[in-house]
Amino acid sequence: MTVLHHNVQILELADAGVRERVLRIAQVRRALIMALDETHWLVHAREARKLVEACKRAGVTVKVHTYGE
Amino acid sequence: MASDFAVQSLLQEVKRSLRPMLARWLSARELGLRKEEQVLLYLQAVRDAEKLARAVGRLEPAGRALLARCCAEEGPVAAGVALARTSSAGYDVTPATLGGLHVAGLAFFEMPAYWPGNAAWSVEHAQEEVVTPDGVRAAGLLCERAALQAPRCQTRLPKEAEAASARVAALISECLEAVSEGAVRMTQEGTFAARTQRMIDAMWARHGAAAFPRAETVLAFLRAAGMVQLESSGAVVPAAAFARERERPAPAHVAALLDYQLEQCAASRDGIEEYGFAPRSYAADTLRTVLLGLDAGEGVSVADCVELVHARAAAMTRGGGGVRGWSWPRSTQATPARAQWDRIVRGVVAELYRACGVVVECHDCYQAPCLALTAFGRYWLHGAGAPLHEHEHQQLIVQPDFTALLTHTGPWDRTAQVLRIFGAHSGDDNASVFHFSRERVQAAARHGHKVDELLDVLEARATYPVPENVRITLREWGMPAAEAVLHRDANVLWFSSRAARDAFMRRGTCPARPLGEQCALLCVPRRAALDVMQALAALPVDYAQPPTAGIAILPDGSVTSAAAHDLRIAALREAIAEPVPAGPGRSEPRWVVSARRLSACDEPTQLFQQLVRLPGTPLSLAVRVQLLVLLGLVPRVAGGTYAVLENVSAGVRTELKKRIPWRDAVLFDGTPQMAVVAPPFAAAVRSACAALGMELMQVSIEPPPFEVHESR
């Protein structure tokens, strides 16, 4: 059966080096639910803000892309 | 004001007459005041720019240079070091010059016992620090290098004069490229990782010169220059100044590396204990002054340089001379013997100046060996006339397959330098090929380079027009991209097979991006996503709500859930179980508890808490204890019986803590759900619980409540 997962947030890390750096951050690991593929992770919405802040502190620029109206 | 306080207390403490010194700053009437008042008036006079200029103007050039050296450092500087730096800059200084600064009231030994008088100058004097009043420091005196004459000869530069500096430039460029590619890693001991060491060995061997600066020195220089930084993981990554510094002309890199090595040499304490100054730094600086005086076509022999350094060092430490009573009549300070100077000077020439290509070995008109200044050396010393690469026959051909062919290039070629930043390089100086790829261009853009610089170079230097597809694609690749993207308010559609997902993508009814094998990210607002869900008759999972069901672990080890389509549940299931082929009559694989996955869990406590907090029927106590044992959170005990407290509220926990040593008594604290008690404390906890009206339960996991899959 097809399933729609909505109210979710996806973290996309295209670059391998950045991926390695970001996935070492504790706040990021806490926010992850599971990997969807090599470059995309499902993220707990309640942890997303902390994740963005932690990435910024680590010097990783995070672009927030919204599909909302 | 810090120095003024030091000088004030020093002058009040010193036991000799200060009248000759104070008479230069105070009037006859002021000299009649008490000593404390005279000192205060003196410090006030030193702050008067006019009086200070007059006092400095009365000094000999050597005295002025020594004073400037004493003020050059942030804090007080040792007398021997200041004398050595002034002497190596071409000034004839002796301890008497420092005595002259004392009587002029411009610089003093910090310890009164070392002031000029009848005692001999010694190495202890050289190690003693000199203080200057704040007024003198504020004057901003400068010590320009003076001409230092060594016997010169006429010579001609050999054809390969610039080879050494070019090789160092190429090495630095390759090191930066390796850092940009993330290929440089350090171990915890601070040495290069094995793979990095192999790469560096190959790099150094390729450029084939024994006396190059070591790889550790080059890396330390890059770190000191703010170009790279060392991460806690050991990876050497580009730092903030990476792009800006990398774009500087190659000769500037070599010059900066040489300056860094000289700074390290000057900061070294080698020889300070024995001689009161660092002989290697003295030799390097004196040679620099000698080289500064060389004109084009002139050379100097190493033997003459050794003689000069030896003679100047001996003169620098000689006693006598100066103002009577304000000097040191004799000196016991030792300097290296001539043989030592020979070894030191030849070492400096070979390891610093010749290795970096400042000088090159050639022959004079009598075929005697001598050193001549290269074009790079002239640039390093005078700061102008950087070696340039100009070749009238150079061709740059940009091809539609994202390669650029550059002919007649060289280490100083700016065109090649820019192309190397954005493209993978192959070939040699006769014909170099640069291959541009998305990864290379994006990595360069991420490190701060701008693709416009590349496009400008291509436009300016290309022999034929740059293909349109190359220009457009390079610009697209070079657009600044975020390192990470958080898709907020995203909706993910999960299909039962890849074919179903691909069919949905092909229909194109909704903008979407494929994710992994079976998912598609809908790039539409939520309302549109819900329309798609209705059209596909898809099951909704709302992540703003907790999962609709939990996980059950059956006695045969099967892990099941009524909400298996919820990816939160799926992630927990994957963390504790693994799929095994479905039994007869079943299409989907069965998930069974896996000892391997449980023992490999990174954060077992977090995983356990998530499992017990799931909605739906809670896991039985025996199952929970068995999970704790498998996760390694509770040790396995003989007999398999555990004392467990269930539903421990915060109030009860506080009461228990007052009665028993909670930290020692509890093997696993998973309150409020449960706590596992250590066997030696079971009796004490039971009686404490009884007093609070609670029951300590005995849970046995023999036989185990569920089977565990042991596959490896």
Candidate from B485, B540, B571 with C-beta closest to A34: B571
Burial zone of B191 (CB within 10 Å; 0-12 exposed, 13-18 middle, 19+ buried): exposed
User: Which is more confidently placed, B181 or B551?
Assistant: B551
* Separation in Å, CA of B424 to nearest CA in chain A: 18
Candidate from B490, B541, B606 with C-beta closest to A3: B541
Q: Which residues of B touch A62 (CB under 8 A)?
A: 482-486
Is B492 close to A63, i.e. CB distance below 8 A? no
Q: Which residues of A touch B484 (CB under 8 A)?
A: 11-13, 18, 22, 55, 60-63
Candidate from B487, B533, B542 with C-beta closest to A65: B487
Q: Does A66 touch chain B if contact means CB atoms closer than 8 Å?
A: yes
Pair of tokens at residue B432:
């170099």
Strand order in the sheet with B674-677: B666-670, B674-677, B641-646, B697-700
In this prediction, residues B353-376 reach a mean pLDDT of: 88
Residue B499's pLDDT is 92
Pair of tokens at residue B30:
């002021």
Residue B143's pLDDT is 80
Q: What pLDDT digit, counting tens, does each position of B368-384 carry?
A: 889 999 989 999 998 87
CA distances from A17 to B177, B233, B235, B422, B536 (A): 15, 12, 10, 18, 38
Residue B481's pLDDT is 64
Mark which residues 159-188 of B lie under 8 Å from A by CB.
182
User: Which is more confidently placed, B181 or B279?
Assistant: B279
* Separation in Å, CA of A26 to nearest CA in chain B: 11
Q: Which residues of B touch A43 (CB under 8 A)?
A: 486
Rounded CA-CA distance B157/B297 in Å is 7
Select from B129, B46, B48 the least CA-distant residue to B81: B129
Averaged confidence pLDDT in chain B: 88
Q: Does A3 touch chain B if contact means CB atoms closer than 8 Å?
A: yes
In this prediction, residues B272-277 reach a mean pLDDT of: 90
* Separation in Å, CA of A4 to nearest CA in chain B: 5
Q: For chain B, which residues make up each domain, given as ranges?
A: 2-138, 154-382, 396-477, 491-536, 552-700
Q: What pLDDT digit, counting tens, does each position of B464-491 carry?
A: 999 989 988 898 888 766 788 888 888 8
- What residues contact residue B273 under an 8 Å CB cut-off, 6+ apart? B127
- Of the pLDDT bands very low, low, confident and very high (cuts 50, 70, 90), residue B231 is confident
C-alpha count within 13 angstroms, C-beta hemisphere, residue B691: 11
In terms of DSSP bridges, do strands B539-542 and A3-12 run parallel, antiparallel, or are they unpaired?
Answer: parallel
- Of the pLDDT bands very low, low, confident and very high (cuts 50, 70, 90), residue B255 is very high
Residue B96's pLDDT is 93
- What residues contact residue B15 under an 8 Å CB cut-off, 6+ apart? B112
Candidate from A6, A13, A64 with C-beta closest to B540: A6
B366 has pLDDT over 90: no
* Separation in Å, CA of B216 to nearest CA in chain A: 23
B712 has pLDDT over 60: no
A69 has pLDDT over 70: no
Q: Which residues of A touch B487 (CB under 8 A)?
A: 9-12, 65-67
User: Which is more confidently placed, A10 or B73?
Assistant: A10
The complex's ipTM works out to 0.94
Pair of tokens at residue B67:
């004073």
In this prediction, residues B405-433 reach a mean pLDDT of: 88
- Of the pLDDT bands very low, low, confident and very high (cuts 50, 70, 90), residue B273 is confident
Q: Which residues of B touch A67 (CB under 8 A)?
A: 487-491, 522-526
> Which amino acid appears at position B184 of this protein?
V
Q: What pLDDT digit, counting tens, does each position of B41-87 carry?
A: 999 898 888 888 989 898 999 999 999 988 887 778 899 999 999 99
Q: How many CB atoms lie within 10 A of CB B248?
A: 12
* Separation in Å, CA of B573 to nearest CA in chain A: 11
Q: What pLDDT digit, counting tens, does each position of B145-161 carry?
A: 888 878 888 888 888 88
Q: Does A53 touch chain B if contact means CB atoms closer than 8 Å?
A: no
Q: Does B505 touch chain A if contact means CB atoms closer than 8 Å?
A: no
Mark which residues 521-540 of B lie under 8 Å from A by CB.
521-527, 529-530, 532-533, 536-540
